[in-house]
Amino acid sequence: MALADKSIRREAAVPFVLKLLAIMALILLLAPVVVVILAGLNSGDHLTFPPKGLSLRWVIAFFQSDAFLPAYLFSLVLAVVTMIISTILGTSIALFLARTEFRGKQMVRAFFMAPLMLPGIVLGLALYLFYLSSGLGLVRTMPGLVIGHVLVTCPYVIGTVNAALVGFDTTLEEAARSLGAKPLKTFRAITLPVISPGIIAGSVFSFIVSFGQFDVSLFLTPPDSNPLPIALYSSLRYTFEPTAAAAGIFAIFLVVVSMLITAKLTNLRQLANVNFS
Amino acid sequence: MSNGSKKLVDLKRRGLLKGGAAAAVLAGPVSLFNINHVWSQDVMWDGQPFDAGGATIRINEWGGFWQEFMQKNAIDEFEKTYNCKVAYDSSFPWFPKYIAGGPEAPAFHMGNWNLNEIIKLGRAGDFFLSTDELKENLPNAADCWDFAFGSGLGITWGFGQYAHVWRTDLVDPAPVGFKSFWEDRFADKRATYITSNGLFMTFFMTAAAEFGSGPDDLEAGFEAMRAAMPMKISDFTGNMQTLVERGEVQMGVQWEGEIFLQMDKGIAVAPLTWEKKPILTQTHTVSRYSDPMEKKLALALVNTKLDPVFQNKAADTFYLRPSNKKAELPERLTNKGVTNTADALDGLWIPDWNWYLDNEDEIVETTNEIFAG
Amino acid sequence: MSAFLQRIGKPGRGALLAAPGVFFFAIFFVVPLVSLFLLSLDKPSIGNASVQWMFDFRNFERFFGRALYYEAAIRSAGLAALVSAITLVLGYPLAFLIAKTTNVRRNTTLMILVLCAMQLDMVIRLFGLMVLMGDVGIINEFLRWIGIIGDEPLPLMYNFTGVVVGLVQFSLPFMVLSLVGVIQGINPSLEEAARSLGARRWQTFWKITVPMSMPGILAGLLLVFAISFSSYVVPTLMGGWKVVVLPIHIFQQVAELGKWQFGAAIAVVMFAISFLVMLIYQRAAAQASGGRI
């Protein structure tokens, strides 16, 4: 690389105004997080800020809690199941939409995005009514809840996989096929590596959206197994407790750990690519 | 019971639905209805523990710490004694779930919630057993004060008085009387609840009574709400606690139990009990059209909650006053001057929910306009 | 010829591929939604939630006839549009920073920070926001301390501002994540070429980077619009009952008043508005990608 390129690279740093706005955005994002973390580490008796002192007592209370810990684990399982189903369905839909041309394709695309457009509570209620009248035995069950979660997370997967497919050169696939490779092999060897960042990104989105999902879960939650957002809401209706803040801390902890792991597998920035058109 | 015979019961149930309901309206809840109804036998519970064979009943009740208390002090024991499973739904609101299924397919077999929701549901359909039927089947019900049956649809097992919660360290001199809420010094530092919250409804009716000719004086109520602006609107009592603790609000609508609990945590608040003495109630309902086994379990569970020992524990944990005459009050209530006697109940007022529900549309719309400024 | 045959062959296989997804959506999305729409065409009746096939429009007449409701529709759409715009202005620089930071550890950290903010539960987040933005919150106390404001606090919460801030705070990560990959994917040689031709940093930014990141910008705008438009929790908890948007009306009608038919009608109106926005997005996206190299 010539010296001229080096100087361009140095000057390619982010302009000051943009950096300022970026920092403002980061502060906006993280300030509530910091408050909640500190509140959860409070050594005092009730939820307050600033904390009277720092202690792990509420974190321990969270581990011993009959309401929050099971809810946390349930949310985890729910999010993983939702992630798997959403990723499979979303990827297949995205592939289909990217490869085929037909009239009204745009409407169909819009249609698959539609679950995001409706309030989660409407979706939840519509599904609840549907389960009751259809007699499929889904009312108040976990599969019923999963279905609701898959509906609202699928669009994200479709978006990220579609973004990865937009620049994909289909002639590569055609070349492989004309060389005699079967479709499945073509998919695994050629297509998959290219779109895998999109698939991983979609999975991550699905997981996070499902884990934090409140609106859809409100009417579909089976009794006795609450997702964490519902458990927090039900508890906070009555009493604002530091245990709730500790639960929040643990959710964040989960993200940090899983993202650190993911970062080993792929550059995290690759995850962020979305296209719905 | 085999599947076949169960279906027969279902069919008969639907057929008798209209007839039974009509008969109930005509003949009163006890005599005719019970005799004609196909499972009048099933409604009977002899008050003795029984083996439910692992059946599951669904209940709706508050979550969080409340749920933990209930599990530890009533439900765990109950599940063992009766060999059953209690599926506990704490995700409020429950009203739409009941409505979606209709009375014949009750979303829950037993519930613990507030009177305004219960009566609203009762008006929408024949969802619950009447208090007379409950009295027949619950041994502990005989020991309860009369007001516990006032709604006709459920048994109130605990109650507390409404009070303003105020910050003793931020407010000086101390406020006196219900109307102190409207003092200028509290402008934008006072709070009430959204219209769907029962505490707002009682607040509205009390304001109407204090400023007007009675709790049904709509205009006086609306005027009072207008005069109270600017004020903050809270969603639920947990949020009100936080608002007060943070100092965002110096006076708010609350009930004694939560105020005492905050005081125990060392927060500088105190209650200002309302002179009109409205009470906040925790009421149990039993769904009418549950299957027989679940219905018996529901009855048994309600009975457990009416037990004096349990009520004493609830009072000790939540400052919830018992409705059972035989319940002993814990020290933390007695040292605040509370007694469990007929005199203590003198003047306690349960709002007229039926009147409120008749006028709810107008109250909600007008009040929301006032709140929106 | 063989290429053409291959192309015909593809839809066949592709259709099989998409079948489970389409099937899933058909049963669990289309059917419940259609039932809901049919419900909106029934006469109002409290306590009844099953479709009666009446094909009556009075619910819609009620909606469009009362200012309370159609103003809420305008408020909802306006709020969502405003939030989308603000989120773009704040989110683009952050996405740009992450995309342009070459140090792997730094950009991983930034990404993780963004994802952490996404993961914080909504209700407990309210506590955090209350501590920050309340009348006696950190911001107001700070402003009071440095003397900018007197006794009267800046009303940042329990009003429209509070809802906007809450929604922006909630949607920012979605916007950032929609943008980072696209910005990063812009061929650096394009920017280098522009610079070597003498363009300043800002010119490059506005003439090359931003137009080339348009697909990401549009996707982010759409996503944030959808999220803010359909949000129930944030306007409820942050709006102080002054910002009554359509989801709040729906919840009131269905969950509190038992008026399923009217609630369903409001949902239909919401769906129509969002569908319109979606089509606008697709039009814009088609035009934008038409300009791509």
Model confidence at C12, pLDDT cuts 50, 70, 90, reads: low
Locate the chain A residue with the closest alpha carbon to B197: A237
ipTM of the complex: 0.86
**What pLDDT, on the 0 to 100 scale, is given for residue C258?**
82
List pLDDT tens digits, range C43-61. Answer: 888 777 778 888 888 888 8
Interface test with A, best of C101, C120, C164, C246 (most A CBs within 10 A): C120
Residue with tokens 């963004």: C114
| C-alpha to C-alpha distance for C247 and C267, rounded to whole angstroms | 8
**What pLDDT, on the 0 to 100 scale, is given for residue B43?**
59
* Tokens read off for A34: 């910091």
List pLDDT tens digits, range C72-125. Answer: 999 999 999 999 999 999 999 999 999 888 888 888 889 889 988 888 888 788
Given a cut of 80, is residue C128 above it in pLDDT? yes
Model confidence at B9, pLDDT cuts 50, 70, 90, reads: very low
DSSP H or E stretch at residue A265:
helix A242-265
**What pLDDT, on the 0 to 100 scale, is given for residue A25?**
95
Beta-carbon contacts of B142 under 8 Å, excluding residues fewer than 6 positions away, are B135
**What pLDDT, on the 0 to 100 scale, is given for residue B75?**
94
The one-letter amino acid at B188: D
Q: First and final CA of chain B: distance in angstroms?
A: 60
Model confidence at C290, pLDDT cuts 50, 70, 90, reads: low
| C-alpha to C-alpha distance for B151 and A164, rounded to whole angstroms | 62
* Tokens read off for C228: 């803010």
User: Cα separations (Å) of A257 from A77, A264, C19, C116?
Assistant: 16, 11, 36, 10
**What pLDDT, on the 0 to 100 scale, is given for residue A78?**
96
Nearest to B262 by CA among B335, B318, B337, B205: B318
**Of B93, B235, B373, which has the smallest distance from its Cβ to C237's Cβ?**
B235
Residue C118 and residue A208 in contact, taking contact as beta carbons nearer than 8 Å: yes
Beta-carbon contacts of C10 under 8 Å, excluding residues fewer than 6 positions away, are A99, A100
Given a cut of 60, is residue B21 above it in pLDDT? no
CB contact under 8 A, A25 and C176: yes
**What pLDDT, on the 0 to 100 scale, is given for residue A81?**
97
| C-alpha to C-alpha distance for A125 and A148, rounded to whole angstroms | 10
Model confidence at C13, pLDDT cuts 50, 70, 90, reads: low
**What pLDDT, on the 0 to 100 scale, is given for residue A270?**
67
Across the range A109-131, mean pLDDT stands at 88
Residue with tokens 């409100």: A218
DSSP string, B128-173: B--HHHHHHH-GGGGGB-GGGGTTSS-EEEEEEEEEEEEETTT--S
DSSP H or E stretch at residue C263:
helix C260-290
Residue C175 and residue C222 in contact, taking contact as beta carbons nearer than 8 Å: no
Lowest-confidence segment of B32-41, B61-70, B308-317, B329-338 by average pLDDT: B32-41
Residue B242 and residue B161 in contact, taking contact as beta carbons nearer than 8 Å: no
**What pLDDT, on the 0 to 100 scale, is given for residue A277?**
73
Q: Alpha helices, DSSP H only, in C155-252? A: 160-185, 188-196, 201-204, 210-212, 214-229, 233-238, 246-251
Which residues 214-273 on chain B approach chain A with CB closer than 8 angstroms? 235-239, 241-242, 245-246, 258, 261-262, 265-267
CB contact under 8 A, A230 and B91: yes
Model confidence at A83, pLDDT cuts 50, 70, 90, reads: very high
Across the range B3-25, mean pLDDT stands at 36
Model confidence at B32, pLDDT cuts 50, 70, 90, reads: very low
Residue predicted with more confidence, A188 or A70: A70
Residue with tokens 């037909």: A102
Given a cut of 80, is residue A272 above it in pLDDT? no
**Of B95, B233, B246, which has the smallest distance from its Cβ to C240's Cβ?**
B233
Lowest-confidence segment of A119-133, B7-21, C181-195 by average pLDDT: B7-21
Given a cut of 70, is residue A51 above it in pLDDT? yes
DSSP string, A12-66: TSPPHHHHHHHHHHHHHHHHHHHHHHHHHTB-SSS--SS-SSB-SHHHHHHHH-T
Please state, rounded to an integer, the average pLDDT across all residues of chain B: 85
Cis before C44? omega within 30: no
**What pLDDT, on the 0 to 100 scale, is given for residue B10?**
30
Q: First and final CA of chain A: distance in angstroms?
A: 38
Residue A154 and residue C21 in contact, taking contact as beta carbons nearer than 8 Å: yes
**What pLDDT, on the 0 to 100 scale, is given for residue B119?**
92
Given a cut of 50, is residue A6 above it in pLDDT? no
**What pLDDT, on the 0 to 100 scale, is given for residue C1?**
52
| C-alpha to C-alpha distance for C60 and C62, rounded to whole angstroms | 5
| C-alpha to C-alpha distance for B305 and A38, rounded to whole angstroms | 39
Given a cut of 80, is residue B40 above it in pLDDT? no
Nearest to C165 by CA among C58, C90, C226, C102: C90
**Of B65, B71, B88, which has the smallest distance from its Cβ to A235's Cβ?**
B65
CB contact under 8 A, B62 and A48: no
List pLDDT tens digits, range C213-224. Answer: 888 899 899 999
- Whether the model clears a pTM of 0.90, i.e. scores above it, the answer is no
Given a cut of 60, is residue C10 above it in pLDDT? no
| C-alpha to C-alpha distance for C62 and C41, rounded to whole angstroms | 12
Measured between beta carbons, the chain C residues lying within 8 angstroms of A93 are 18, 21-22
- Kindly report the nearest CA distance between residue B95 and chain C, in angstroms: 6
Across the range A43-66, mean pLDDT stands at 82
Residue predicted with more confidence, A169 or B303: B303
Which residues 31-70 on chain C approach chain A with CB closer than 8 angstroms? 31-33, 35-36, 49-50
Q: Which residues pair with B110 in a beta bridge?
A: B59, B286
How much of chain C, in percent, has pLDDT values that exceed 90?
A: 30
Given a cut of 70, is residue B11 above it in pLDDT? no
Lowest-confidence segment of B11-15, B304-308, C246-250 by average pLDDT: B11-15
Q: Alpha helices, DSSP H only, in C41-66? A: 58-65
Those chains having 3 or more beta-carbon pairs within 8 angstroms of chain B are A, C
Given a cut of 70, is residue A205 above it in pLDDT? yes
**What pLDDT, on the 0 to 100 scale, is given for residue A74?**
94
Beta-carbon contacts of A217 under 8 Å, excluding residues fewer than 6 positions away, are A124, A145, A148, A149, A227, A229, A230, B91
Nearest to C169 by CA among C77, C83, C78, C230: C83
Q: First and final CA of chain C: distance in angstroms?
A: 28
Nearest to B129 by CA among B16, B244, B355, B285: B285
Residue C247 and residue B239 in contact, taking contact as beta carbons nearer than 8 Å: no
Across the range A233-245, mean pLDDT stands at 79
CB of C130 within 8 Å of a chain B CB? The answer is yes
Across the range B250-264, mean pLDDT stands at 93
Beta-carbon contacts of C178 under 8 Å, excluding residues fewer than 6 positions away, are A272, A273, A274, C95, C216, C217, C219, C220, C223
Interface test with A, best of B90, B234, B235 (most A CBs within 10 A): B90
CB contact under 8 A, C10 and A47: no
Model confidence at B30, pLDDT cuts 50, 70, 90, reads: very low
Model confidence at C291, pLDDT cuts 50, 70, 90, reads: very low
Helix/strand/coil (H/E/C) assignment for every residue in B278-345: EEEEEEEEEECCCCHHHHHHHHHHHHHHCCHHHHHHHHHHHCCEECECCCCCCHHHHCCCCCCCCCCC
Model confidence at B129, pLDDT cuts 50, 70, 90, reads: very high
**What pLDDT, on the 0 to 100 scale, is given for residue C14?**
61
Burial of residue B265, with CB atoms counted within 10 A of its CB: 0-12 exposed, 13-18 middle, 19 or more buried: middle
Residue A243 and residue A62 in contact, taking contact as beta carbons nearer than 8 Å: yes
* Tokens read off for A161: 């996989």
**What pLDDT, on the 0 to 100 scale, is given for residue A77?**
95
**Of B62, B92, B100, which has the smallest distance from its Cβ to A132's Cβ?**
B100
Beta-carbon contacts of A80 under 8 Å, excluding residues fewer than 6 positions away, are A207
| C-alpha to C-alpha distance for B48 and B59, rounded to whole angstroms | 21
DSSP H or E stretch at residue B192:
strand B190-193
Which residues 229-268 on chain A approach chain B with CB closer than 8 angstroms? 230-231, 233-241
What torsion, rounded to 10 degrees, do the Cα atoms C123, C126, C128, C133 define?
A: 180
CB contact under 8 A, B242 and A129: no
Which residues 186-215 on chain A approach chain C with CB closer than 8 angstroms? 197, 201, 204-205, 208, 211-212, 214-215
CB contact under 8 A, A273 and C229: no
CB contact under 8 A, B100 and C255: no
Given a cut of 90, is residue C279 above it in pLDDT? no
**What pLDDT, on the 0 to 100 scale, is given for residue B44?**
73
Model confidence at A245, pLDDT cuts 50, 70, 90, reads: confident
Q: Which value, in Å, is the radius of gyration of the alpha carbons in chain B?
A: 22
